[in-house]
Structure 1
Amino acid sequence: MLDGRPVEASSDIAFSNPVLSFNRLRLKTGESTLTGNVRYTAPEANERGKLEAQVGLQSLNLNDLPQLSSVFQATENLDVGFILDARGVSAGKSPATGRISARILSDGPALLVETLDIVDLAGANARVRGRIAPDGSGQITGKVTAQRADPLVELLGSVWIGGISKLVPHFVREGALDVDVTTERVAPAPGSNELRLRTTARGRVAGGPFDGQVESVDGRTESLTLGLSADNTGRWVNRPNMAGLNRPSRIDLRGTRIGTGLFNVTLTGDIAGVQVATRRPFALSENDDVVDSGEAEITTPDITPFLLLLGDGAGVAPPFR
């Protein structure tokens, strides 16, 4: 947050162990202003801590959000009561027309999303509702649409899936999406009180069918399975009539967190006639945002279509072997 922009802060602060309160809080950084009340109760003995916040945000640009990795990691061992009304939200250079409204409550294993609405955030909209009961039953479901996926990818990266969002390819970020999302609880290991969630998404992404599933433990992504296909690969790069790309593609991606704590990814697919297979899993960095190592095998009589997905084809003429 302290990146050179002007900062102004004021609040009435009260402390009576174990409760710390910030009343009439006002925090301004650059053009963004946060106002409201925050109350933190520290954990005692076998009692969980509690964070209650009722805040408003004005003139928020998502590019200015810190990388939280996960809301769950940030509130580990805490119950949360969170009410947010953010207006004038933008992403990058998009108009500040977006609004985010949220009312989210957690109590141990229970999780209630009473309201989570995203409206006109650079053309993106989402509406999510639901409850996961203490016994693990119930679901949180929603609908997500966007003319351009990038703002939602950045938002998810900041508050949910962490650095993995940095690896989302350019054509997916620039493409439209229309998906149904469901989150449910998975039973934890015996003797564990971890919050294990499974989120599935099905619909259309970048002009083609999409299905995905992510499992997280206390907000940290533990495994994922994604499948994306297209009847015309050229639609992924807005070139549906280009020779070499006017053919189907299918990409399947799987990832898992291994014993070292690092995340490994494998990729297989047929991309406009180019066969791709992982020979050695791609190991991500500690923050899940950079590929440290890995090896893939590409088999094709002409790699030009694959190069076109990366940019202008690197100035080569087909066939390129």
Structure 2
Amino acid sequence: MAILITGGAGYIGSHMVLALVDAGHEEVVVLDDLSTGFDWALPPKARLVVGDVADQALITETILRHRIDAVAHFAAKIVVPDSVADPLGYYLANTVKTRALIEVAARTNVRHFIFSSTAAVYGEPEIVPVPETLATNPINPYGRSKLMSEWMLADAAAAHGFTYGVLRYFNVAGADPRGRSGQSTPNATHLIKAATQAALGQRTHLEVFGTDYPTRDGSCLRDYIQVSDLADAHMSVLGHLRRGGESLTLNCGYGRGYSVLEVVEVVKRISGRDFEVRLSPRRPGDPAQIIAGADRIRNELGWSPRQDDLDAIVAQALAWEEALTKRNRLYEPEQKHPRL
């Protein structure tokens, strides 16, 4: 059985590819337009198809050629403030293109579909930690674009008889413990990446948006899940679906929150370096706190985290950033992987 990973050369997708290859999956096919992903992030055993997720002819040919039975869809735009400034761009990338992919999957009899969603579908939650049963109420176009895709996926699955898993991510952080992949996008907005870049002198300062939230220190509270643990969660969902399990929607987090300012202090301590922190007004679309109610994935799938340690997560991110800097200095052409 073969699986198609869209956005598989990106941050989270590449870790899913590594998990699949490590588990001995015979054929892992990656579709990525390489706009934010990197072909060198893929292990040699993965097959890379360079193209757009909405290219239905290319997707059809790829699924039929490799007899794909499952799709894991990671390709998306993910920056909340950008979605507020460019809502139509986010609805195109995250909703319209996902619809095109789902249509091809249904038409080619793909049996299982795993969708990369977000805690942003909950908006400003009235209950913390947030259970999956809480009504969705996104407060930004990013969250709305993902929720629309969840609805489309559920409706299409009911109509066409395939099963799906929706994984609602909280804040993804860290890097592969073996140093094979990490967050590589130069201008990524992830807090831990930005803070490690500041610690290494790659940024002149770190900007903290909002210090007047109703939280313990006035900065936002977030639930940080290590990226390899998140990849393992996807593997658990894939196994569940392939064993005949029903469709399901799951939160992916640890059930514990850290504030922005607390994370900054951890980065300073782990790196042993101080850096300038500038306090700025709130950004549009940011909820004060969002922490996962994470019991369902543990109870229903038996998933348990192995990397639940903020110090270790920061250390991984710091090591990856240092390795990435060296790589960018040493290698001119990017290492190429098999393409179709």
Structures share a fold, TM > 0.5?
no
More helix by share: 2
Q: TM-score, normalised by structure 2?
A: 0.27
Larger radius of gyration: 1
Q: TM-score, normalised by structure 1?
A: 0.28
